Structure 1
Amino acid sequence: MLSQQARYWHKHLSRRRHHGPRIHRTLFSTSPRHNGYDDTIPNLRIGSHTRVIFQGFTGKQATANAKESIAWGTNVVGGVKPNGSGEHLGLPVLPSVRAAVEQLKPDATGIYVAAHQATAAIEEAIEAEVPLIIAVAEHIPLHDMMRIHSMLQSQSKSRLVGANAPGIISAIGRCRIGFQPLPTFSPGHIGIVAKSGTLSYETVGSLTRAGLGQSLCIAVGGDVIAGTNFVDALKVFEHDEDTEAIIIVGELGGTTEEEAADWIADYRKRLKNPKPIAAVIGGFQAPPGKVMGHAGAWVGLGEGTAESKYKALESAGVTMVDHPAKFGGVMKEILAKSGRSVRKIELSAAQAQQRRSYHISRSLPRPLPTTTSSTSFQQRRSLHLTADQSANLLKAYNINITTPPEGSPSTHYLGISPHRSARSPSIIAAPTANPSHLPQRVRRFPFDYRQGPSRDAITAATAHLQLDTAPPRSKAQVIQLIHNLWTLYHEKEAIDLHIRLALSVETDEILTYDPYLFFDDAAFTSTKRHRDLHALRSSGSLTTTTTDLEAQQAGIVYIPLRCTPLFAGTTAKKPTQTAPSSQVQSEPRKLLIGTLVNGAGLALNTIDVLHTRLAPGTSAANFLDTGGKATAATIQTSFSLILSDERVGVVFVNIFGGLTLCDMIAEGIVLAFREMGVRKPVVVRLRGTNEEVGQRVLRESGLPVFVYDGFEEAVGKCGELVCGR
């Protein structure tokens, strides 16, 4: 809950945000009764009053983005270049964030630097007490972000959105801090909070076409630990007078959707006429144990699946859809049911659009994505070791792995894992290692990243393990084991370290076995840390196929899927499994749809919808995320990967361009036809940046390509083609 003072100024700000004076950040000071970081939630309320600076201001990406944002109406007041000075784009350049705060009095900063520089840039903004910090870079190492969150939790001035987030944008207030495709947005009265950038663009496009527009859109990002979560955004929307209804765009990974459902259930009890809320969830068809493009798009032990998130939100009274293109019509329906005047909202949105001289341009230049070099990042972001490699590494940290013991009276589960809600590492523990009981019995005990496991966390974890009454020798071994695991976790920048324990009947010793070690690639790809550990890739740590290597080198996430049909909704069955290349080839041949999508969230939703729309026995052949900025070369490589699967009968290209340019996608498709001799029918759906140019390129190419701008029409055509009609 916000303090009384924060609520007062939050309400005051919502009334005056468009043309009123800027509200100074010290008005949202910490109350000792509340978590200090929670009191920074009102800083998310951006608008025309918001004074914005750019870190990395003179760089190529920041320059292109600043030009576009300024032209749209964002109040950019200058920027920072380390040890620099002078002017850029007619605005002042300062040598440090502190100097910029003193001279320019910013409300927000957009950080447009590469991943290996982003951590220091975020820290500098926190130390300078900038109220709102937007971090857009991908591949910032997880441990860097956990240290950042340890800093954030101990202060009450700065709020972070990101990392790996498209940013935040007020369509009403004409303030954009991020890289969202501006032609898609229109001022209106629907608030949006989303993990996925591309799915949020789909949502925005649907609302714009329906004439409802958007008020405030908060893209929290796809990292393992986000600086702002769904509940934070919902608290803002609840008190925002411009927001008449709310949309949540979620996906597998973490528990923020379930926490949002709990908050919504309470909200609907507190208010007589709560704002209507709708949602979409992606990831029903995601194979277990895979990172699905986003760093955080994987289901940790004890975390909810896409199905459980769907059910939790639906049970809280949220209207669920299976694809964001439906939001325009659905929002009109639930607004009307709530007693709100849809016509009045449409007129208000139209007047706001006219008042602000809103024009749609379909050929705005796009800034380049953040990279550290010309080499594409590997989006896999994980390294799994073999059993022997795991045992050798653990032994170096005084953890000796044995074979699974026989005859032990009980087994236990222990490890170190991210606690996404607490934004910190945690001890993960369960009094059982039985796979069928483990998800229900596991608990996480968070602790501060900079301090390491606290005595309280260790005591609570030991009690939950039911080892608090174990013999003194065994209990001391468990405590030392936790410290050893943390040392390894911290020094080698792991994501998950899990082991099973058993208490020896004969010696009272703790036996450790069956390790699971999962490391973050970003520490190596972004900062070149832990070369020795990540060199294990080339010595057999992973079963890497030719297609795996081809995808990684192109910055593509490509995962073949088994063709077990599932239903994306409350009746979803058990998730599909990943199919190795050899297994894919040995399955009975079926006509499946190869998918080529930009953005992990949109790719997840695409394969979900194909499962619900197509005839029984037909499904998506793969998950393929081209990454944040697909190029013509990326598209050609994607076609090569998809067509290497003999099950594919139709290729479905589903693009919603933000950073990705639709005309470049079209050129890549033409190139693939010419270079590879594509013989399968191709259905292309292009929306977003330069969509009209891209569609024209394909229609004038003379190629057998079916081009659509509507998602449902494109899916229908895929169904016709795959069934031979």
Structure 2
Amino acid sequence: MQAQERAKPDATAIYVPGNQTAKAIEEAIEAEIPLVVAVAEHVPIHDMLRVHSMLQTQSKTRLVGANCPGIISAIGKCRIGFQPLPCFSPGKIGIVAKSGTLSYETVASTTRAGLGQSLCISMGGDVLAGTSFVDALKVFEEDPDTEGIILVGEIGGTAEIDAAEWIRDYNKRTDNPKPIMALVGGREAPPGRVMGHAGAWIAPGEPDAETKHRALESAGVTMVDHPEKFGQGMRALLARRTMTSATPISSSSQKRGLHTMRRFPHGSSRVSSWSIHKRSLYAKEFQALEMLKRKSISVNEAAPSDSDVLLTMTVDRTALSPCIVASTTPDLAQASSARFPFAYTTQKLSSTSPVLEAVASHLHLPETARGKLAELTQALWEIFKEKEAYLLEVWANFSDGEMQVRSARFGFDDAAFRSSGRQEDVHRLRNKDEEVPEEVDAEKDGIVYVKLQGEGSIGTLVNGAGLAMNTVDALSIHGGHCANFLDTGGKATSETVKSSFRIIRSDPRVKAIFVNIFGGLTRCDMIAEGIIMAFRDLEMNVPVVVRLRGTNEEIGQKMIAESGLPLHAFDSFEDAAKKVISLARST
């Protein structure tokens, strides 16, 4: 507070670790600092729920983050965060992204195309982002320096759907709208898995990546399958806008901006809410039911009945608060489900509280069942807060004025233990013996590894969760079959890279390995050193394709070229993808 009184800052950056981030944000809110940028990852979800409940009571402070590289004005030459400066250049494109590495790829593409950037905003990969896509789009709409807009999304939440609705309205009410391009990562992500970012998982009732892609496309956004295509694609759209400045651009004409862009096949858009969302800490069903019994909730593991209802307590990423999701069917994507957010400061969920009256009405519960509904939801709410859960799902039956829980799945936030040392009793519920050995092994080195099903002939080694998701997506579109998702993490070392190779090579399906790096904090020369170490110390008997871009890329590329190793090095993702797919097929 004293620093604020003396300096009267317009903005502050918070670089403290995840376990201290919430307190630092709260202090900045109390000091009424207008812009707060928080970069840390692994901030406990319940810490951020508390922060957002505080933000919702005031209008002085805006939060960017957490879990983001920050915000940068290339024109104003002002950075609040840690973005790699060499790939930025002053220009005309506004960029908003969830993923740091994908945003760097996007920046580099627009720089190479001679377009540059006006303002780059990181929404971040956290479950509860302080600034949304729509917030950024509103800024870009009014910014005279921004002539084109790029949006980079991924699985998790509904921010992309909200953005699509805003864009559709923007295109209707604007005579000559600024062209908008986008990409959505995680189209190949397996259901129920967290893909690196804390927020990269699909909660009950949330849309998958395919649904988000179609929503943006139908709103008039030009979609791409890799950020490398943004630069030339935006040049074409801007040229068209200039040529037709006197004629309104319709949504359909904007979509046809690039004839050569690949379209993803339209797959299923539904994800079962009942899959286990593996954020490392989740209870077995009998453990979840025991927690309910300790709250005096009646449990009867009988066969499912048509009269059973599904109640889920989770996080509403739009309302930035806890919520109840209620449904009469297992498929929460259907109209039978609805979300009911409520304040994190709520102490008691009584039968007369507005949120429970709405839930009961949606489920068509009789008056006689509403007291029992309140008992169950209050028990869930107590477990949710006491144990720092992020997802509590129960099937319950309210027949004849009684209430019985049939089955339950409970998921808990691992960041509460990993970064803050809280919830040790919940953490002990984890049984690593029942998990994929390679995934557990990868954790020891700070690597996020997800083994994928299917042919799996291509192993992937990537830095950054967003880029790793997009790498798997793009290779799939080109006809490749990936064995894994692998994010080396932002603090990767040469040893981390070597360990990544060892884990990938343990999968007998792998016929070729693709190393795709865009260095921000991660240096390309360090990655190159790790690749060389892997060839020196491990039995590397499969071909390796390497693409190094970003921080120290020239040094890294030179090290690879001079290593004398049988490596296939590329600058272009498209060329690298074609090569690794060809090698996997011929090996």
**TM-score in terms of structure 1 length:** 0.74
1:684 counterpart letter in structure 2: V
Match of 2:425 among 524, 532, 556: 532
Q: Could you list the per-position Cα deviations for residues 121-148 of structure 1 after superposition, in whole angstroms to 9, with x for gaps in the alignment?
A: 1110000000000000000000000000
Q: Does 1:99 align with 2:2?
A: yes
Corresponding residue for residue 413 of structure 1: 310
1:523 touches 1:530 (CA, 8 Å); kept in 2? yes
Q: Using a 3 Å threshold, how does the CA distance of structure 1 residues 721 and 483 change in structure 2: closer, same or farther?
A: same
Shift of 1:544: 2.2
Corresponding residue for residue 392 of structure 1: 290
Name which of structure 1's ranges 289-298 and 712-721 shifts more when overlaid on structure 2.
Answer: 712-721
Structure 2 distance, partners of 1:699, 1:422, is 51
Q: Does 1:493 align with 2:388?
A: yes
Shift of 1:405: 4.2
2:394 counterpart letter in structure 1: I
1:203 counterpart letter in structure 2: T
Match of 1:428 among 306, 311, 325: 325
Corresponding residue for residue 241 of structure 1: 144
Structure 2 distance, partners of 1:289, 1:439, is 18
Corresponding residue for residue 456 of structure 1: 354
Corresponding residue for residue 414 of structure 2: 521
2:279 touches 2:411 (CA, 8 Å); kept in 1? no
Structure 2 distance, partners of 1:295, 1:716, is 31
Q: Using a 3 Å threshold, how does the CA distance of structure 1 residues 226 and 200 change in structure 2: closer, same or farther?
A: same
Task: Please give the secondary structure, in 2, of the residue aligned with 1:118.
Answer: helix
Task: Please give the secondary structure, in 1, of the residue aligned with 2:188.
Answer: coil
2:515 counterpart letter in structure 1: V
Shift of 1:381: 4.0
Structure 1 distance, partners of 2:61, 2:364, is 40
1:699-714 paired onto structure 2 within 5 Å? 699-714=561-576
1:292-371 paired onto structure 2 within 5 Å? 292-339=195-242
Q: Could you list the per-position Cα deviations for residues 272-301 of structure 1 after superposition, in whole angstroms to 9, with x for gaps in the alignment?
A: 111110101111100000000011101111
Task: Please give the secondary structure, in 2, of the residue aligned with 1:716.
Answer: helix
1:385 touches 1:542 (CA, 8 Å); kept in 2? no
1:632 touches 1:665 (CA, 8 Å); kept in 2? yes
Q: Could you list the per-position Cα deviations for residues 246-277 of structure 1 after superposition, in whole angstroms to 9, with x for gaps in the alignment?
A: 00001111100000000011111111111110
Shift of 1:175: 0.6
Corresponding residue for residue 490 of structure 2: 628
Structure 1 distance, partners of 2:283, 2:549, is 40
Q: Does 1:719 align with 2:584?
A: no
1:658 counterpart letter in structure 2: G
Corresponding residue for residue 65 of structure 2: 162
1:548 counterpart letter in structure 2: E
Task: Please give the secondary structure, in 2, of the residue aligned with 1:698.
Answer: helix
Corresponding residue for residue 282 of structure 1: 185
Q: Could you list the per-position Cα deviations for residues 615-662 of structure 1 after superposition, in whole angstroms to 9, with x for gaps in the alignment?
A: xxx411111111122211111111111111111000000000001111
Corresponding residue for residue 372 of structure 2: 477
Task: Please give the secondary structure, in 2, of the residue aligned with 1:338.
Answer: helix
RMSD: 1.7
Structure 1 distance, partners of 2:300, 2:85, is 57
Q: Using a 3 Å threshold, how does the CA distance of structure 1 residues 315 and 703 change in structure 2: closer, same or farther?
A: same
Match of 2:521 among 646, 659, 662: 659
Corresponding residue for residue 584 of structure 1: none
Shift of 1:714: 0.9
1:168-179 paired onto structure 2 within 5 Å? 168-179=71-82
**Aligned pair count?**
553
Shift of 1:459: 1.1
2:310 touches 2:330 (CA, 8 Å); kept in 1? no
Shift of 1:513: 1.7
* Structure 1 unaligned blocks of 5 or more: 1-97, 343-378, 564-589
Percent identical across equivalent pairs?
56
Corresponding residue for residue 257 of structure 2: none
Corresponding residue for residue 445 of structure 2: 554
Structure 2 distance, partners of 1:389, 1:451, is 26
2:32 touches 2:60 (CA, 8 Å); kept in 1? yes
Q: Does 1:680 align with 2:542?
A: yes
Corresponding residue for residue 441 of structure 1: 336
Runs (4 or more) in structure 1 with deviation over 3 Å come to 379-382, 436-440
Higher Rg: 1
Match of 2:27 among 124, 136, 149: 124
Shift of 1:553: 1.1
Structure 1 distance, partners of 2:571, 2:244, is 30
Match of 1:403 among 297, 301, 318: 301
Shift of 1:508: 2.6
Q: Using a 3 Å threshold, how does the CA distance of structure 1 residues 664 and 106 change in structure 2: closer, same or farther?
A: same
Match of 2:404 among 503, 507, 511: 511
Structure 2 distance, partners of 1:541, 1:126, is 40
Shift of 1:409: 5.1
1:556 touches 1:625 (CA, 8 Å); kept in 2? yes
Shift of 1:437: 6.3
1:386 touches 1:541 (CA, 8 Å); kept in 2? no
Shift of 1:456: 1.2
1:380 touches 1:557 (CA, 8 Å); kept in 2? no
Structure 1 distance, partners of 2:331, 2:426, is 32
Shift of 1:435: 2.7
Structure 1 distance, partners of 2:578, 2:309, is 50
Structure 2 distance, partners of 1:274, 1:633, is 48
Q: Using a 3 Å threshold, how does the CA distance of structure 1 residues 340 and 141 change in structure 2: closer, same or farther?
A: farther
1:539-578 paired onto structure 2 within 5 Å? 540=431, 543-563=434-454
1:380 touches 1:552 (CA, 8 Å); kept in 2? no
Task: Please give the secondary structure, in 1, of the residue aligned with 2:90.
Answer: coil
Corresponding residue for residue 695 of structure 1: 557
Structure 1 distance, partners of 2:423, 2:6, is 40
**TM-score in terms of structure 2 length:** 0.92
Structure 2 distance, partners of 1:526, 1:647, is 35
Structure 2 distance, partners of 1:261, 1:721, is 39
Task: Please give the secondary structure, in 1, of the residue aligned with 2:586.
Answer: coil
Q: Does 1:609 align with 2:469?
A: no
1:116 touches 1:526 (CA, 8 Å); kept in 2? yes
Structure 1 distance, partners of 2:456, 2:380, is 47
1:385 touches 1:541 (CA, 8 Å); kept in 2? no
Q: Using a 3 Å threshold, how does the CA distance of structure 1 residues 620 and 384 change in structure 2: closer, same or farther?
A: same
Corresponding residue for residue 97 of structure 2: 194
